[in-house]
Amino acid sequence: MKGLLIISGLGILAMLAEIFKFKKVLYPLVLIGILAAYALGFTEWNANYNIEVFSNMIRFDNVALAFSGVILATAFFWFILANDYFEKDHVTDHFALVLFALVGALMLTAFSNMTTLFLGIEILSIPMYVLAASRKRDLASNEAGFKYLIMGSFASGFLLFGIALIYGATGSFDLMAIRAYISHNGADLPAFFYAGVLLVLVAMLFKVSAAPFHFWAPDVYEGSPTVITALMSTIVKTAAFAAFMRLFLVTFGGVNETWGIVLAVVIALSLVVSNITAATQQSVKRMLAYSSISHAAFMLMAILANNRGMASVSAILYYSLAYSIGSIAAFTVVYHVSKQESGSSNIEAFNGLAKRHPLMAVCMTVAMLSLAGIPVTSGFFAKYFVFSLLIGTSYNWLIILAILTSAVGVYYYFKVIIAMYFKAPTKEDGITIDSSHVVLLLLTTLFTIALGLVPNFVIEIFG
Amino acid sequence: MLVGLLIIVPLIAGLLVFGTKGKASRNIALGFSLVEFALSLVALFQYKHNPASADLVLNCTWVESLGIHFAVGLDALSLLLVLLTTFLIPLIILSSFKNEYDKPNSFYGLILIMQMALVGVFTANDGFLFYVFWELALIPIYFICLLWGGENRGAITFKFFVYTLLGSLFMLVGLIYVYSHTGFDTGIKSWAIADLYQAGRALDVNQQSFVFWCIFLAFGIKMPIFPLHTWQPDTYVNAPTQGTMLLSGIMLKMGTFGLIKWLLPLTPLALEKWGGVAIGLSVFGIIYASCIAIVQKDYKRLIAYSSIAHVGLIAAGILSCNQQGIQGGVMQMLAHGVNVVGLFLIADILLRHTGTREIDKLGGIRSMNGNFAVLFLIVMLGSVALPLTNGFVGEFLLINGVYQYSAIAAAFAGLTVVLGAVYMLRSYQNIMLGERKDSAIAFGSLAGSDKLVLYIVCFVIVAFGVYPSPLNDLAEEGTKLIMLNLK
């Protein structure tokens, strides 16, 4: 809760910075603020499990705190990655927008009412629309922002419609009340209630960009500035999954036969479509966009498994952490490589990176291994937890499909590794990167391996 | 503790070597690999002294809530394979002294890290840990093949990687499936090998069949067994010599070892049902690979196919699931590991001295270097399993084991002896004897390091051919343990 307040305060402060001329100190201030918000999360651990805030609109229980922790940690890394982004024009606007998006993300981890869910999604999305279009003289960036806005608005419409139908059936916006209503009146829920659940499902699938609702993702990812793409594929995704989980595991857990089969089909489609399309991409950024769809499918598999107490939750938590950290590392490298090639992130730009900047090549390799799910990186454990959740359920076939498509995944991740180590560089000159980015790369790489070596810290977090 | 050292030392050594430069890398790597070999000898001594010694097992908790332990231990079987690994790695490093590799620090560092993973695979007593080491072994060899391989290595190593990864993911599913059935009585799930055995045997025949094929796929690809072998010849030929040695000398044994320790005791019912199919594939692979080997022009490719034939026999013996078959499999794993390293070194020497490995372009080398001819002859005879060479014991036991399962299968499997002699002797005749071809003119004397490796290999071939009982006793002991679990 305190974290949410701090980040909101920082956002407002950022808007004032232009007027009161303290732009220069804003960057360190934000970093410190995020760390403070992160640290304050620890003080709330186990503490206000049952305290109602804002008439029970929001509740920071342990699950919310854990996901906030992932989001804040990723945000910290992200701000280090994006230091350039806050140097030229519109500095304070950029700060404010990102911070408000962060506020939305934190709300999504902790909402306990349908209205807070909607607010959170909008607070998260609206800044993201603007940020996607923030390279304002670039046509692709404008297109990205526009597409994102149109598609996002559609999804919000679905969401609202769904919420309205659910409210009509159960008479409440409160998640716990809805849950209780479902368990008491399971047999005679009206048909439009199920329609409402499915509409909410569709809206959430839009937000996590699962196939067949993924068409916006690649264009938006490619058109946006690289750092914003990194933001979308990490923080936004984690927040969307936190919300997804709370909705479907907690609230609609009782009617999983309604959404289970739909979700299974969506997962299967996402796995196939994303991996096969990713394999044909020339641009690494676009490849990462498609691969993020496949990772979304994996996280959805953990939701599909549904019924194992906290196991699904901790699997998603671990997956989002592993994926976020790996992505931040990958995007840092993509950012620098594409800067060398005047914005292009084609696979050729990675040729011979091992010679031009060995450290980046090593870190990128670890990131790719992690995203591909090779032990002992964190990505492996993430996939392992999902598999072990789903095995023995009626969805065994999804595991087989996931394995087959993972092999395709290895193809495109390793294409990058092969290019870096095996192909001759197009340019001979070395690449210099900021020392802060060196630290960032080392930290993320270290985390990726450390999380793989000691997954217990995350997986056993809920006791 | 000792077994922990066996895993840690190569890891630390590998990381150290990454930080070195030039010639120092390979010398340090060689030094560490000798230390590791000495350690494994100490372990052997310890085992002989007291098989239940606490030094030979290590068990710490890794992820408590999931029942994952860092549990490693040495029994007779794993001890033999660890010895094979620690014995071959110094030879492999030594054999590279005449090849100038770019970035030697990475090259030798990767070899040592690979050794860590291999020792881990052979000692793991926890299903999860076994899988992790299994995958971990793949990364260094992938980079070794990718960075120092021949032409077109990108596509070939990639095929190799995807093939093996796909197999191992299926193995993971099979293992998780068994794991999810552990702890039926206690409610606590566990990856410990004993618990997996117990859970696996409690499954019904259909469930066991699912597990069997999932896991068999991984091992079958690694060995490789027909029809999963298509990655193998290209990868072997394109990898740098040391990479090929690692792949065929040690890594291949991961598959056969896995069969013995991680498949047979896990799914006995499925084995009864499907064992025949698996043996049929193995035996078919023997004949198929032998026939292809006969017509090969490239000597290295010929060895690659011969390797498929050999491993087919090993797999058939193991899958026939009796004392002779499994024991023979173990013996043949050891013999094949040593012999194939010798053969690949010979292929490398041929290439370095004559500029070609094409059998047709070679000839009459014996007249230029008689010493080499003798060494080559010994290695070749070991590989065709002549009596009094190390290959004989294993092959004899294997065919005996397969015969107990089915006389017809044994008859076909026995063809390996004939066919093996055909391609091996013919290639030897073409390369070493006959009229001297142009390529042989420049064939001078061997380099010291090559000579040393070949002497050691030949010594082992003859010594354990004449007096196999030290190894044979251990193999028998290990097999008996496994047989106990099969009952």
Q: What is the pLDDT of residue B391?
A: 86
pLDDT at A309 over 80: no
Distance from CA of A422 to the nearest CA of B (A): 7
**A interface mutation test: which of B169, B180, B206 has the most A CBs within 10 A?**
B169
In this prediction, residue A52 has a pLDDT band, given cuts at 50, 70 and 90, of: low
Give the phi and the psi of residue B102 in degrees, each rounded to 5: -60, 150
* Chain A residues touching B143 at Cβ < 8 A: 421
Q: What is the pLDDT of residue A441?
A: 94
Q: What is the pLDDT of residue B223?
A: 87
Report CB contact under 8 Å: B65, A384.
Answer: no
CB neighbours (10 Å) of residue A440?
23
What DSSP letter does each residue of A394-443 carry, written as one string? Answer: TTHHHHHHHHHHHHHHHHHHHHHHHHHHHSPPS--S-----HHHHHHHHH
CA-CA distance, A391 to A407, in Å (whole number)? 19
CA-CA distance, A422 to B183, in Å (whole number)? 47
Distance from CA of A39 to the nearest CA of B (A): 26
Nearest-by-CA chain A residue for B139: A374
Report CB contact under 8 Å: A403, B169.
Answer: yes
What DSSP letter does each residue of B290-331 carry, written as one string? Answer: HHHHHT-SBHHHHHHHHHHHHHHHHHHHHHTTSHHHHHHHHH
Tell me how far apart the terminal alpha carbons of chain A are, to the nearest angstrom.
22
In this prediction, residue A54 has a pLDDT band, given cuts at 50, 70 and 90, of: confident
User: Percent of chain B at pLDDT above 90?
Assistant: 35
Give the phi and the psi of residue B322 in degrees, each rounded to 5: -130, 170
Q: Which residues pair with B241 in a beta bridge?
A: none
CA-CA distance, A416 to B421, in Å (whole number)? 45
Report CB contact under 8 Å: A460, B162.
Answer: no
Please name the member of A387, A406, A455 whose beta carbon is closest to the beta carbon of B63. A455
C-alpha angle A337-A339-A344 in degrees, rounded to nearest 5: 80
C-alpha dihedral over A379, A382, A384, A388, to 10 degrees? -170
Helix (H) / strand (E) element for B141: namely helix B138-148
Report CB contact under 8 Å: B180, A392.
Answer: yes
Q: Which residues of chain B have pLDDT under 50?
A: none
Distance from CA of B245 to the nearest CA of A (A): 22
User: Percent of chain A at pLDDT above 90?
Assistant: 43
Q: What is the mean pLDDT of chain A?
A: 88
Report CB contact under 8 Å: A422, B154.
Answer: yes
CA-CA distance, A371 to B165, in Å (whole number)? 14
What is the mean pLDDT of the segment spanning A222-241?
91
Report CB contact under 8 Å: B166, A374.
Answer: no
Q: What is the pLDDT of residue A51?
A: 62
Report CB contact under 8 Å: B166, A422.
Answer: no
* Distances, alpha carbon B223 to alpha carbons B37, B216, B230, B258, B271, in Å: 25, 10, 11, 10, 18
Find out whether B147 and A422 touch, Cβ atoms under 8 Å.
yes
Q: What is the pLDDT of residue A308?
A: 58
Tell me whether residue B64 is exposed, middle or buried, using C-beta atoms within 10 angstroms of its C-beta: 0 to 12, 13 to 18, 19 or more.
exposed
ipTM tops the 0.90 cut = no
pLDDT at A178 over 80: yes
* Distances, alpha carbon A59 to alpha carbons A66, A117, A176, B213, in Å: 13, 12, 11, 48
Residues 87-146 of chain B whose Cβ lies under 8 A from any Cβ of chain A: 131-132, 135-136, 138-139, 143, 146
| Listed ranges A108-122, A308-322, A387-401, B423-437; the one with the highest mean pLDDT | A108-122
Nearest-by-CA chain B residue for A412: B158
Helix (H) / strand (E) element for B59: namely strand B57-63
Report which of A169, A197, A204 is spatially closest to residue A299, judged by C-alpha positions. Answer: A204
- DSSP summary character for residue B356: -
Report CB contact under 8 Å: B166, A404.
Answer: yes
pLDDT at A322 over 90: yes
Find out whether B147 and A421 touch, Cβ atoms under 8 Å.
yes
B158 touches chain A (CB under 8 A): yes
Cβ–Cβ pairs < 8 A, chains A and B: 70
pLDDT at A49 over 60: no
Least confident of A47-61, A329-343, B183-197: A47-61
Q: What is the pLDDT of residue A70?
A: 94
Helix (H) / strand (E) element for B69: namely strand B68-73
Q: What is the pLDDT of residue A353?
A: 86
What is the mean pLDDT of the segment spanning A135-161?
91
User: How is residue A247 written in tokens?
Assistant: 């909705």
Find out whether B395 and B384 touch, Cβ atoms under 8 Å.
no
Report CB contact under 8 Å: A407, B158.
Answer: no
Report which of A182, A301, A195 is spatially closest to residue A241, judged by C-alpha positions. Answer: A301
* Distances, alpha carbon B428 to alpha carbons A52, A340, A462, B347, B375, in Å: 85, 55, 66, 11, 12
pLDDT tens for B433-443 read 877 777 777 77
